[in-house]
Structure 1
Amino acid sequence: MSVDRIAGYLERRRTTAHPLEQALIAAACGSPSGQEPPIDLNTYIRQAPDFTSRLKHALLNALLMACGAGHSPGPVPDRSSFSRTGLHPWAKVQTTAVKVIWAPVPDASFRAEHRDVDVLLSTLNRDGIREGNLLVHLSALHALHRLGGHDTVVRDGLDTVLRHQRRDGGIPFFTDTDTWCTATAGVALLAAGAPDDVIYSITTHLVGRQKPNGAWSVSDISEVTDADDTSVVRELLQTRADPAHRNAIERGRQALR
């Protein structure tokens, strides 16, 4: 069964995984001693920029709670921790899921709202994985499951996830990162002196993946563009300097501006 394969994947990594991953595995599968290993989330939160610390604390705790653990010691986040203002579309859904997962905690000063549920459902009301982001998809499913009343949506969403299960039993973060991998490989191959026809094939493919706004996204199926993908693709196109790609290079520049 799929669940057994997932459990096997996690168990094989229990002793060699990163401490934070070990805590997640213990929460999901239980620990041999019956006790979850201690984890200091601040160790990881301090690695992120200060302005993200409240949300990162809420996020890491939410993942642990979604896997079956209690939240770590410390104050319960307040409503301001879940502001969606200015966030990337994926981050808006992730932040909403984290809020809904926290909402049942007794000391929480907020509750899940109808608009929160609408955000989560809008992410799942489609045939595949929105933007190819499985982590966001799973976060939304966990939030709706904890909220209750959405059994059919959660069940259908899980069926969609399991279509992307790998041979080793694990589930990837994204369905694919084709555009990003192609662009970074193209830059490396160009620097290494790869044959011109190889570079031309790569650049022509990438020009075909340029979005209407002139930028690029992480994968072929994603519509949300970003600065890192656009920068690397434009670097490759500009370094090769094919006259046929001049328009794509300029559109990429304007998108970054």
Structure 2
Amino acid sequence: MISTTSQDRDPDRTAAQVILCAEANQLRQAISTHLLHRSNEDGSLDDQCESRIFESVLMSLLLDRTKHTQFRLANNKITRFLIAEHSGADRFHKNLIDFLISPKSASANGAFTHFPRGLQFTQSRKEIVFRSILAELGAQELNFSASEALMVGYGNQANWVNIVSCAVRVLAHAQSGIVVGKRDTDYLRAAVSTPGPTGVYEGHVFAHIMALLALQRVGTAEQFVVDGIHALLRHQREDGGFPFVTTMKTFCTVTAALGMLQCPGKEDAALRAASYLVSVQQPDGGWGYGFGVAQTDADDTAYCLELIRSCNQRHFQGPIRRAEAYLVSISAHGAGVPTFKADHTPEVAMTAGAVNAFDLNDVKYHRVTTSWLQSLLERQKDDGTFERSWSLSEANAIFRSLKAFRGALSSRLFQPMYDRIRMAHSASVQYLLAAQNSDGGWGQLAGSASDAISTAYSILALPPENAAQIWQGISFIVQSSDSGRVYSIPDQAGPRPIPWNVPVLADVTALWALNHALALDS
């Protein structure tokens, strides 16, 4: 709580400001305590990904085609979930539900027309994926021709993307009458047969369902498909739906720990989380997004490296060096950092995350961090924004980039870049100031309704000079909370740009923002 002596030291503070500061302190304490209670003894933390229409429709289709009475109850639960979600769904998801439940009212062209677009990454591949799904749901006019089907391939993608792409290849061949190759079906069978500790391949429900749909379509042994269905049914949610993924353990653990590290009295919890993360670092030096996920990525790795470096523990030096080497190796020839593979397109949020994870006073990596910063400067748009990535909020890439810029400005090694960095930093700040809504919050895009996660990212992007706008945002976050929890619309996307939700991430991002604001008040 803020005492009256604090107010006496700053006579310009109003009673309302003192009260808001006290509320922010209370909410920070409540969130950090909640996260601590949710954590496991080893310091890890996970939260359930909520049900989604997309996977639920696909799972219902899979169960319908299996025609086993043992799955009737599970499928009825899915149907009830989809009916309940129909009225609030966007037009694309409404059409998916209609194809499944009332095909006569469904429109293939409508569904494909309203397929969510807007993020440039792998757009054409995703259109092929959704087209194949709609064709399986009954939109015969979207069936692949023989020539088109032969063009569908897979390989050199993230593990689950390879599985989805292979499944689409099998479905496209089946739809066009081409004989499906044994290599493709063997590839899918191997994935489903080695699902890892969650029982679902890479914890990725969407990929697992797609593999089973494709195998079922070409007459794979019925018991093999049934066994795969049983594994999926273990992850059916109470509301009857199915999630996008089964686990986000690494991401939840590291983001929560980064917040706890800045909370008075919670530093030991952050250190336990860091120790857990070090214990699950992959042989290549990176981390995957969840428990038992073999595919590593730059996003989780950058956050994990940032955390374990901040803990300042001598025995973390080995893991730090391996994580640094991983991020350098995945960097696209020094021009930026992609999410999964060195020859993939670099992404701003991944590049900024990597900069934030490195010691910018370390001359050893000065050349590569300089190239990453140059990439950020070149990728900034004229209005001060950057491309969106795995977050639907444009403020996510802005906050991560501005944090990288401020880090560079604090190191003399980057002095030749100071002027360009200051200009870029100013452009993004001015954009955010103009985008702030009258309720004090920010939306995922300028002009959209405020939400707690986008507001948290925007607060984190703003420097101390904008304390008034920061505290207006904190007021919105406080109003978005109830009983020590913060509530927001989904922020994460996958397959991009379809949103999915892990509720604890709203608490985590709010905690980051509260730490940022309260540090200004100390």
Deviation at residue 149 of structure 1 after TM alignment: 3.9
CA distance in structure 2 between the aligned counterparts of 1:227 and 1:72, rounded to whole angstroms:
39
- The alignment's TM-score, normalised by the length of structure 1, stands at 0.87
Corresponding residue number in structure 2 for 1:115 = 183
Identify the match of residue 233 of structure 2 among 162, 177, 181: 162
Deviation at 1:216, TM superposition (A): 0.7
| 2:282 matches 1:211 | yes
Give CA deviations for 1:170-201 in whole Å, capped at 9, x if unaligned.
11111111111111222233345562112111
Q: How does 1:66-81 map to 2 (within 5 A)?
A: 66=136, 68-70=137-139, 76=145, 78-79=148-149, 81=151
Q: 1:82 aligns with which of 138, 148, 152?
A: 152
Which structure's CA Rg is the greater one? 2
* Distance in 2 (alpha carbons) for counterparts of 1:85 and 1:125: 19
- Note the C-alpha offset of 1:248: 1.1
The 5 A counterparts of 1:110-149 are: 110-126=178-194, 128-149=199-220
**How many Å separate the matches in 2 of 1:212 and 1:228?**
17
Which residue number corresponds to residue 87 of structure 2? Answer: 15
Does 2:129 match 1:59? yes
Deviation of residue 137 (structure 1)? 0.7
Query: Is residue 2:86 matched to residue 1:4?
Result: no
Q: Which residue number corresponds to residue 91 of structure 1?
A: 161
Query: Which residue pairs with 1:152 in the alignment?
Result: 223
Q: Distance in 1 between matches of 2:140 and 2:324?
A: 44
AA aligned to 1:186 is A
Gaps of 5+ in 2: 1-72, 329-522
Structure 1 contact 55–81 (Cα < 8 Å) conserved: no
Question: 1:210 deviation in Å?
Answer: 0.7
Distance 1:105 1:70 in 2: 11
Following the alignment from structure 1 to structure 2, what is the Cα–Cα distance between the partners of residues 17 and 158? 26
RMSD, matched Cα: 2.4
* Conserved? CA contact 2:92–2:116, under 8 Å: no
Q: Under a length normalisation based on structure 2, what TM-score does the superposition of the two structures give?
A: 0.45
Cα distance in 2 for residues equivalent to 1:125 and 1:201: 34
> Counterpart of 1:174 in 2: which secondary structure?
coil
| 1:87 CA displacement | 1.6
> Out of 308, 311, 319, which is 1:248 matched to?
319
Aligned counterparts of 1:125 and 1:28: Cα–Cα separation in 2 = 28
Q: How many residues of Structure 1 are paired with residues of Structure 2 in the alignment?
A: 251
Q: Map Cα deviations across residues 100-122 of structure 1 (whole Å, 9 max, x no partner).
A: 1122334x7x5421111111111
The answer to whether the 8 Å contact 2:166/2:184 transfers is yes
C-alpha separation in 1, matches of 2:149 and 2:120:
20
Instruction: Tell me the amino acid that sits aligned with residue 172 of structure 2.
Output: W
Shift of 1:21: 1.6
Q: Check the 8 A contact 1:82/1:99 in 2, yes or no.
A: yes
Query: Alpha-carbon deviation of 1:79?
Result: 4.5
2:200 and 2:208 in contact (8 A); partners too: yes
**Paired amino acid for 2:193:** N
Aligned residue for 1:199? 270
Q: Structure 1: which 5+ runs fail to align? A: none
Deviation at 1:142, TM superposition (A): 0.7
Q: Sort the Cα spacing of 1:251 and 1:72 in 2 relative to 1 into closer, same or farther, 3 A.
A: farther
Report what 2:175 is aligned to. Answer: 105
Pairwise CA distance, 1:148: 1.8
Q: Quickly say closer, same or farther: Cα 1:74–1:45, change in 2 above 3 A.
A: farther
- Aligned partner of 2:244 in structure 1 is 173
Q: Distance in 2 between matches of 1:80 and 1:149?
A: 21
